[in-house]
């Protein structure tokens, strides 16, 4: 499989192993970093890649930078140009996962607002595990971050301390992954993905006030579900005990794509198998991201 050879820092390509950031940069000392994970899917029978929902990723990045009071921003055209050069330089022959990090590269005090720098890296991704078997999730005793403490709505690296604690607890307890609750005890999300469940034929997901990242994949699924079934997904708060009434469940995110969940707290979700709606939405998602389905061309930036 191809491996990254070139990385981009502040708009310039350089050998992947030559990238450097000073350890005293605020990005490191105070986690003054916001980031995005994006995917560029190979479009079959062409030499093109389809960057999925680029403007929405950049919009979220820009809001994160604003809230973190970074003293400059980047627009979609500039980032598209950078990512195009980055992908071409790495000559990928499979789908590409992109990490885009924007940070304070200067040293200084906690409130320092610049200079701001960015790094973009392109890499392959292994086929995700659990696609066929489904995941065994455990509800974590680590609470999801509160919006008025460290807002999960922005994708800042500091938020992933919380996610890391939950992942390691789940591993130590023998689960494939964790599901986190809000400080009020309502279902929030997984450490790096959003959560959906099916109950009595309705698709339900925690609302955006459940301390979640406003996931672009979640939005894609809500939109496609409505278009495919004519029914609206329900965005609301979910009690923990409702999890055990679910007939199907899955996680979603750019990196995870759509992963079925077959047990929660070692109790089967429905019949403990990958559910039919989960499979249908998953297939549809791949058709959309690759452009096999002509709908939503506005979601695909071809490069």
Ligand X SMILES: Cc1ncc(COP(=O)(O)O)c(C=O)c1O
Query: How far separated are the first and last CA of the chain, in Å rounded?
Result: 21
Binding mask 231-270 for ligand X (x = CB under 6 A): ----------------------xxx---------------
Q: Contact at 8 Å (CB) between 220 and 299?
A: yes
- The reply to whether 215 sits near ligand X by the rule CB under 6 A is yes
Nearer to ligand X, 113 or 223 (CB): 223
Interface pick for ligand X out of 154, 170, 193, 303 (rule CB under 6 A): 193
- The reply to whether 189 sits near ligand X by the rule CB under 6 A is yes
252 backbone dihedrals φ, ψ, rounded to 5°: -145, 150
Question: Known catalytic residue: 155?
Answer: yes
- The reply to whether 37 sits near ligand X by the rule CB under 6 A is yes
Minimum CB distance to ligand X, residue 102 (Å): 15
> How far is Cα of residue 157 from the mean position of the Cα atoms in its chain?
13
Q: Contact at 8 Å (CB) between 170 and 138?
A: yes
Report the distance separating Cα 303 and Cα 295, nearest Å: 18
Q: 118 exposed, middle or buried (CB, 10 Å; 0-12, 13-18, 19+)?
A: buried
Q: Contact at 8 Å (CB) between 79 and 101?
A: no
DSSP strand pairing (33-42 vs 96-104)? antiparallel
CA dihedral 79→154→166→189, nearest 10 degrees, is -100
Minimum CB distance to ligand X, residue 57 (Å): 7
Minimum CB distance to ligand X, residue 12 (Å): 26
Minimum CB distance to ligand X, residue 277 (Å): 18
Interface pick for ligand X out of 82, 216, 249, 258 (rule CB under 6 A): 216
Residues 155, 171, 186, 273: which is the catalytic one? Answer: 155
Minimum CB distance to ligand X, residue 192 (Å): 4
Nearer to ligand X, 31 or 192 (CB): 192
DSSP, collapsed to helix, strand or coil, labels residue 222 as helix
Nearer to ligand X, 98 or 116 (CB): 98
Interface pick for ligand X out of 79, 213, 221, 233 (rule CB under 6 A): 213
- The reply to whether 151 sits near ligand X by the rule CB under 6 A is no
> Can you list the positions of beta strands (E) in the chain?
6-9, 12-15, 33-42, 49-52, 96-104, 116-123, 135-139, 177-179, 194-199, 202-206, 234-236, 248-253, 257-264, 267-268, 300-302
CA dihedral 276→281→287→293, nearest 10 degrees, is 100
# residues near ligand X by CB under 6 A: 13
Nearer to ligand X, 83 or 192 (CB): 192
Report the distance separating Cα 19 and Cα 7, nearest Å: 7
- The reply to whether 33 sits near ligand X by the rule CB under 6 A is no
Nearer to ligand X, 170 or 216 (CB): 216
- The reply to whether 284 sits near ligand X by the rule CB under 6 A is no
- The reply to whether 108 sits near ligand X by the rule CB under 6 A is no
- The reply to whether 116 sits near ligand X by the rule CB under 6 A is no
Residue with tokens 């990045």: 61
Interface pick for ligand X out of 58, 194, 198, 203 (rule CB under 6 A): 194
Would you tell me which residues interact with ligand X (CB under 6 A)?
A: 37, 189, 192-194, 213, 215-218, 253-255
Q: Which residues are catalytic?
A: 155
């Amino acid at each position: 499989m191809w491996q990254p050879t070139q990385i981009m820092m502040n708009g310039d390509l350089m050998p992947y192993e030559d990238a450097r950031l000073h350890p005293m940069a605020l990005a490191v000392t105070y986690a003054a970093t916001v980031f995005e994970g994006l995917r560029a899917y190979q479009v079959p029978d062409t030499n093109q890649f389809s960057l999925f929902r680029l403007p929405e990723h950049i919009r979220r990045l820009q809001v994160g930078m604003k809230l973190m009071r970074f003293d400059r921003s980047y627009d979609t055209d500039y980032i598209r140009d950078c990512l195009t050069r980055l992908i071409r330089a790495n000559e990928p022959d499979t789908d590409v996962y992109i990490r885009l990090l924007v940070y304070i590269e200067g040293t200084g005090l906690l409130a320092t607002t610049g200079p701001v720098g960015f790094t973009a890296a392109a890499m392959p991704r292994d086929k995700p595990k659990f696609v066929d078997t489904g995941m065994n999730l455990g509800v974590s005793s680590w609470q999801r971050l509160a919006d008025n403490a460290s807002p999960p709505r922005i994708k800042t690296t500091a938020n992933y301390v919380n996610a890391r604690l939950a992942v390691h607890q789940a591993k130590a307890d023998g689960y494939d992954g964790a599901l986190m609750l809000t400080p009020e005890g309502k279902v929030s999300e997984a450490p790096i993905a959003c959560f959906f469940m099916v109950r009595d034929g309705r698709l339900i997901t925690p609302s955006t006030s459940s301390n979640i990242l406003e996931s672009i994949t979640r939005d894609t699924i809500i939109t496609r579900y409505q278009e495919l079934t004519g029914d609206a997904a329900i965005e609301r708060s979910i009690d923990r005990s409702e999890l055990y009434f679910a007939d199907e469940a899955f996680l979603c995110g750019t990196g995870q794509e759509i992963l079925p969940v077959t047990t929660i707290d070692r109790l089967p979700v429905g019949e403990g198998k990958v559910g039919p709606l989960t499979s249908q939405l998953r297939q549809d998602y791949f058709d959309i991201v690759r452009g096999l389905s002509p709908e939503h061309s506005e979601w695909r930036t071809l490069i």
